[in-house]
């Protein structure tokens, strides 16, 4: 194997879900691209951290201070869906059944997890809502052990604010995930939240 291709394969295997065999396929496909395509790809990678990357309010991807959802006048700001990852937000957006806003935690609470998830930011955001009693927090963490633990923690912390808190779990079987649920199931789980 060529050393340049080997190096590319090593980089690609660092990505989630990409094993050596897939990385090799991807690298070989890229070897077929022309120079312009490769340069664009390289630029996209090297520019990823130039300028804002995340929304200052919900931690979705953003080009400016706020993401397109937080800055849209069509979204209902009194409803906040709390999701684990941006990919979960994308799955919920695909249903077309949700017109509220989001809060991306960036993970779940789990023992030994050193990465800080955005719970404090959520609590501050909710506390500063103009009228918390009219708002709803939809906890859309995954229906597994850590997702449930995180949901419980958020619920307990927000309870004193007297805010309506619902859980998106109806219809989603235990151990399944928001990201890989089909749109109909997810729209149903959203409609029948409680």
Q: How many residues bind Zn ion (CB under 5 A)?
A: 6
Piece of the chain touching Zn ion by CB under 5 A; list 64-72, 111-119, 160-168, 176-184: 64-72
DSSP 71-134: T-TTSEEEEEEEESSHHHHHHHHHHT---EEEEE-SS---TT--SPPTHHHHHHHHHT-S-GGG
Query: Applying CB under 5 A, does 189 fall inside the site for Zn ion?
Result: no
**Two tokens at 46?**
């090297």
Of 126 and 172, the one with the shorter C-beta distance to Zn ion is 126
**HSE toward the beta carbon, residue 61, CA cutoff 13 A:** 8
The distance of closest approach from Cβ of residue 182 to Zn ion in the complex, given in angstroms and rounded to an integer, is 25
Query: Applying CB under 5 A, does 70 fall inside the site for Zn ion?
Result: yes
| Residues 83 and 103: beta-carbon distance below 8 Å | yes
Query: Applying CB under 5 A, does 55 fall inside the site for Zn ion?
Result: yes
Helix-helix angle 86-95:183-191, to 10 degrees? 90
Of 65 and 156, the one with the shorter C-beta distance to Zn ion is 65
Of 55 and 187, the one with the shorter C-beta distance to Zn ion is 55
Piece of the chain touching Zn ion by CB under 5 A; list 14-22, 48-56, 111-119, 154-162: 48-56
Angle at CA of residue 174, ends 171 and 176, nearest 5°: 85
Q: Which of 12, 27, 67, 154 binds Zn ion (CB under 5 A)?
A: 67
Query: Applying CB under 5 A, does 150 fall inside the site for Zn ion?
Result: no
| Residues 8 and 29: beta-carbon distance below 8 Å | no
Q: Which of 9, 24, 27, 60 binds Zn ion (CB under 5 A)?
A: 60
Interface residues with Zn ion (CB under 5 A) are 55, 57-58, 60, 67, 70
């Amino acid at each position: 194997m060529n050393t340049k291709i080997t190096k590319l394969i090593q980089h690609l295997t660092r990505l989630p879900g990409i094993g050596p065999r897939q990385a090799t396929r991807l690298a070989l496909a890229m070897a077929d691209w022309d120079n312009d395509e490769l340069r664009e790809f390289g630029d996209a990678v090297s520019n990823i951290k130039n300028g804002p990357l995340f929304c200052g309010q919900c931690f979705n991807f953003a080009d400016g201070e706020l993401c397109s959802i937080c800055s849209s006048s069509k979204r209902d700001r009194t409803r906040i869906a709390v999701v684990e990852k941006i990919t979960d937000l994308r799955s919920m957006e695909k249903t077309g059944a949700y017109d509220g806003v989001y809060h991306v935690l960036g993970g779940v609470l789990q023992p030994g997890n050193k990465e800080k998830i955005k719970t404090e930011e959520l609590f501050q955001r909710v506390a500063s809502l103009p009228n918390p009693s009219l708002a709803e927090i939809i906890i859309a963490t995954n229906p597994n052990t850590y997702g449930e633990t995180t949901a419980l923690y958020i619920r307990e912390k927000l309870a004193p604010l007297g805010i309506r808190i619902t859980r998106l779990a109806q219809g989603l079987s235990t151990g399944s995930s928001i990201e890989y649920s089909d749109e109909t199931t997810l729209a149903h789980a959203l409609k029948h939240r409680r």
